[in-house]
């Protein structure tokens, strides 16, 4: 019950924070979108996250092999 209450409070605070930002827009994002550079930013971020996912998968497989050898 406590976890549900904490989660609910966090969601309420997160929604308040998003409304507090206003609707003026972000200058940098607008500029990147208009020049087409936003796609480069998204591609770099996607590459980093995919690389991290593969690295974690690789480490997990190695740990499974080590655990098997210890048993």
pLDDT tens-digit series, residues 15-71: 676 655 555 666 777 887 888 888 999 999 999 999 999 999 999 999 999 999 998
* pTM assigned to the model: 0.55
Q: Is residue 58 part of a domain?
A: yes
CA angle in degrees (0–180, nearest 5) for 22-26-27:
135
Total domain count for the chain? 1
Selection from 20, 37, 17 nearest residue 28 by Cα: 37
Looking at residue 22, its pLDDT comes to 58
Q: Quote the DSSP letter at residue 23.
A: S
Is residue 57 within 8 Å of 49, Cβ to Cβ? Answer: no
Residue 7 covered by a domain: no
Containing structural domain, residue 65: 28-71
């Amino acid at each position: 019950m406590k976890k549900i209450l904490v989660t609910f409070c966090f969601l309420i605070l997160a929604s308040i924070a998003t409304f507090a930002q206003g609707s003026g827009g972000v200058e940098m994002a607008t500029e990147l979108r208009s020049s087409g550079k936003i796609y480069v930013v998204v591609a770099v971020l996607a590459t980093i996250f995919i690389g991290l996912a593969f690295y974690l998968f690789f480490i997990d497989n190695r740990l499974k092999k080590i655990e098997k050898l210890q048993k």
